[in-house]
Structure 1
Amino acid sequence: MDIQLNALHYVYLLFTLLILGVMIKKRDTSLVCILGVFILGIIATSSLSQAIMGVFNSFIYAIVELMGTILIISVIVGMSTILTKTGINEIMVSPFTKLIKNPTLAYWVIGLLMMIISWFFWPSPAVALIGAVMLPVAVSAGLPALAVAMTMNLFGHGIALSGDFIIQGAPKLTADAAGIPVSQVISASIPLVIVMGVVTTITAFIFLKRDLKSGKIKTEEKVNRFKNKEEEDILKNILTMKTKKTLAVVTPMLFGIDVIIMFVANLQGGDATALIGGTAIFILVLVSLLVHKGKALEEITKYLVSGFKFGFEIFGPVIPIAAFFYLGDDGFLKVIGEFLPEGSQGLVNDLGIALANIVPLNAGVGAVTITSVGAITGLDGSGFSGISLAGSVARLFGAAIGKGVATLTALGQIAAIWVGGGTLIPWAVIPAAAICGVDPFELTRRNFKPVVIGLTITTIVAMFIM
């Protein structure tokens, strides 16, 4: 694999580093991302008007790509709004409140539940299920919303998705690219996923406990997105206690039926998320009809609009950065046009290939390089788009070294998905951030040190087991 890099690649790399630097400084990245898209457009098309159009079209592309996530977040928030205002949510989570009595239990119980559900249905529907039910419980137990988002990220989008042992979408892609059976990739990934998961989650927990003790992270009294306290008090008294208890049982039961349907009908990813979202809409409608009676038609719309406002408010700052990084993959051809060099696999993948081509090969360098290649390909925020490249590079490295193809393949898969699938890319963490009502950029900063430490130790372990 030999790709000739040109000005587009170097400009993309430069702006990637600039964006990361701005994020580290805790400043807004929108202007840098817009300039990056504009300059890439100028270089590719040599047309000022085309470059200006490219900026707007990149926003449209990003919104279209993110729309499913925006919608599931919006309808879940709309549903949780009326459940909280009426007091149903409080009754619904009371059994969990009795079990989860401190932040430590909240962190590990939520994380393990998230991991198990994500193994079967992938993280997006799991975030909706776990976040809607467990967030108030965790906050009541003293675990901050930011920490809830972090544990859902690390256990779901990290451990469960990077191994993908049940659905096997990720190992199938990497195994095909590496030219080895899926079973070999899964077997090789088990020790690496365990090391990565244990190191990252324990490190994150240690940092969390330290910051809770020092007061750097403060616990919230309760989760409340609603400003009108008087209206909330009125709504809590409309339904009888018997009706509220019934709805508190019916709501999780309906989501439980969703889980059964997902399992029986083999629904994953977008289909599973759509089932959860549709159920949330019907729960919102049912409760609205019971609470608002004659005004239900108008109130249903208000709850949906409230959810959409929340969703777009959360996603607003992320759309420019997503627009830039999507240009690293298929988005470039769809937004700017066919101006990439012949044989290009996308700007991000080309940079990964170039890195792989310039390093000397032995077990240690090979492991470090494949982790770097996986992480670079994860920068587009997909996690899955670059894992085929990771498999291809692993096959080349394994052949050159004479061993370790499966281990290198699994390592590249883990790096790509932990970075882009994701725990370190702002729009990849948005489902967890939005459900918990926290800043996605702050969440990625919170994830950064544990994930980097985990990837470093996992890479070292891979060197010894190749």
Structure 2
Amino acid sequence: MELLAAHWVYLAGVLALIGFMVARKSVVVPAILATLLTTWVYTGSVFTGIGSVFSAAAVATTEFLNIFLVLAAVIAMIGAMKTIGAERMMVEPLAKLMRNNVISYFALFAVTYVLSMVFWPTPALALIAPFLLPAAIRVGLSPLAAAMAIAIAGQGMALASDYVIGVAPELSAGGAGVPADMIANRALILSWVVGAVAVSITYVLHVRNPGNGRVRRLVRREPATVAADGGDASVPAAVGEALLAKRAPAGADSPGSGEGGAAYGPDDLEEDSGEVRPPWTRLFALLVPAAFGLLVVVMIMGKFTDWVPGVDSGNGAALVGGLALLLTLAVSLTTGGEHRIEAAGGHFVDGLVAAFRAMGVVIPVAGFVLIGISDFAGRIMQLPEDVEPPSFLFDLILSGQQYIPDNPVLLMVAMLVVGMLIGLDGSGWTGLPFTGGLAEALSHSSGPETTATLAAIAQNAAGWTGGGTLIIWSSLVAVAGFTGVPVVTLARRLFIPVVAGLLLSVVVAAVIW
């Protein structure tokens, strides 16, 4: 395959992003410049290159909009509950169950994994964050350790195998020409291996020795902020503020005040009505978890029984976000006093501001990565509809196929690397038909067992990378947004545990298959 100059520019851009992340520098600047140069070199027009910078951001925003909105809806609900103190009453029973940081760590891990297998990680995270996360942090688990446990279980283990919903194995099987069950069974075992290694290393580094995390507990009133490179900037630690902040003294700054929107705190509500509302506090402390619990039950029953209509997996996030917004309205309109209408709108605006601040760094980076995938390249580079868009990322991988040695172990390592590269798309699934086909080509007629193993290795690697735990332009930003941990810090801390697990998974695959 002949590689064009634009292919090499794109590759240089990918390497620059990785280098900047390792060096703890902002990745926004190299992402924008790489988008400009790649489009300019490919189309020959500097004006198209300039326009692609905006187009890439627009396409990336569209792709991640559901994550933005779910995060915003849940933050809005938490903010509304906080005005009457319902969030503190709601988490008290969970706090009693989570007696220390070790129990909390493994409880978060287990619950996240089970729910993510059924609902996929982002909707599951929206269910978990308002209830389990604050209880875990109250008993001493650091936000970093909590975020890592959630990411390993959901964005890693559950999404890499996708064993229950089965989309990923079907995509891999479509290219590999083998039954999806063969790939799914292998991917499940491999995901367990990576998860066991990652959760164990994280426990040693950040739970048993929490000082290594160097991330403060989110119990402060002032907004915790992060920048694109992981430093201080202006991203509120949404869950930490909304669920864990203690009531501020008169005149203290409120996370919901200022440019984020006119949210009303407890003092405002009491001034409007002249009384405290313990009955409403108790009601919503019970109603919110009950409503989400009922939603979980209905979705599980729809998945495994015929008693209720099934819910499409893609609608899980919409149901969670919609329920959160309705509960936000219920709290605000019931307890908001004279300002109930403004309070409801203010909470929603605060949620949107917090979500976009938390995920803003992802947009230009995701836009550049997506330009390397044919499904998005045409829109980003504004190519005519009758022109076949380029596929820079897949072309680069395919061009290196001839250099892969014909050795079983080396083939597995090669498929691991290819899977991780495919995961750079930010989903981990776009290239699975390609890796499935590559697995079939590299198996050299060794039979479906070998093909399934190679495809499962690539799927597992792509899921862990792009699902994701290793790159910041994936749904990892949702975990970062809910926990208030800088997404760059989270990805960097997950690198060693996850990569160690991926390498061990290749050894396991070589031994048992």
- 1:45-124 superposed matches below 5 A: 45-124=43-122
Cα separation, 2, equivalents of 1:110 and 1:202: 14
1:169–1:54 distance in 2 versus 1, CA, 3 Å: same
1:187–1:318 distance in 2 versus 1, CA, 3 Å: closer
Any conservation in 2 of the 1:361–1:401 contact (CA below 8 Å)?
no
Unaligned runs of 5+ in 1: none
* 2:318 aligned with 1:274: yes
Which protein has the bigger helix share?
A: 1
C-alpha deviations, 1:267-302, integer Å up to 9, x for none? Answer: 344311000000000100000011113321111111
Specify the alignment match of 2:465 in structure 1. 419
Deviation at 1:228, TM superposition (A): 5.6
Deviation at 1:384, TM superposition (A): 0.8
Deviation at 1:210, TM superposition (A): 5.8
Which of these residues, 422, 446, 451, is aligned with residue 498 of structure 2?
451
Q: TM-score, with normalisation over the residues of structure 2? A: 0.86
Specify the alignment match of 2:413 in structure 1. 368
* 2:149 aligned with 1:151: yes
- 1:381-392 superposed matches below 5 A: 381-392=426-437
C-alpha deviations, 1:118-170, integer Å up to 9, x for none? Answer: 11111110010101111211110111222222111110011111111111111
C-alpha deviations, 1:226-254, integer Å up to 9, x for none? Answer: 79654645268655323322211111111
Which of these residues, 380, 394, 397, is aligned with residue 335 of structure 1?
380
Cα separation, 2, equivalents of 1:310 and 1:20: 26
Specify the alignment match of 2:225 in structure 1. none
Cα separation, 2, equivalents of 1:456 and 1:271: 35
More moved, 101-110 vs 241-250:
241-250
Cα separation, 1, equivalents of 2:346 and 2:362: 25
Q: Which amino acid aligns with 1:278?
A: G
Q: Which amino acid aligns with 1:426?
A: I
* 2:251 aligned with 1:234: no
Please give the secondary structure, in 2, of the residue aligned with 1:28.
coil
Unaligned runs of 5+ in 2: 221-239, 251-263, 303-308
Which of these residues, 231, 241, 251, is aligned with residue 224 of structure 1?
241
Please give the secondary structure, in 2, of the residue aligned with 1:249.
helix
More moved, 217-226 vs 303-312:
217-226
Q: TM-score, with normalisation over the residues of structure 1? A: 0.94
Deviation at 1:434, TM superposition (A): 0.7
Any conservation in 1 of the 2:144–2:213 contact (CA below 8 Å)?
no
Deviation at 1:401, TM superposition (A): 5.0
Deviation at 1:345, TM superposition (A): 7.1
1:214–1:433 distance in 2 versus 1, CA, 3 Å: closer
- 1:288-327 superposed matches below 5 A: 288-327=332-371
Q: Which amino acid aligns with 1:255?
A: F
Specify the alignment match of 1:245 in structure 2. 282
Specify the alignment match of 1:182 in structure 2. 180
Any conservation in 1 of the 2:378–2:389 contact (CA below 8 Å)?
no
Please give the secondary structure, in 2, of the residue aligned with 1:224.
helix
Any conservation in 2 of the 1:157–1:418 contact (CA below 8 Å)?
yes
Specify the alignment match of 1:285 in structure 2. 329
Cα separation, 2, equivalents of 1:184 and 1:344: 33
Cα separation, 2, equivalents of 1:131 and 1:423: 17
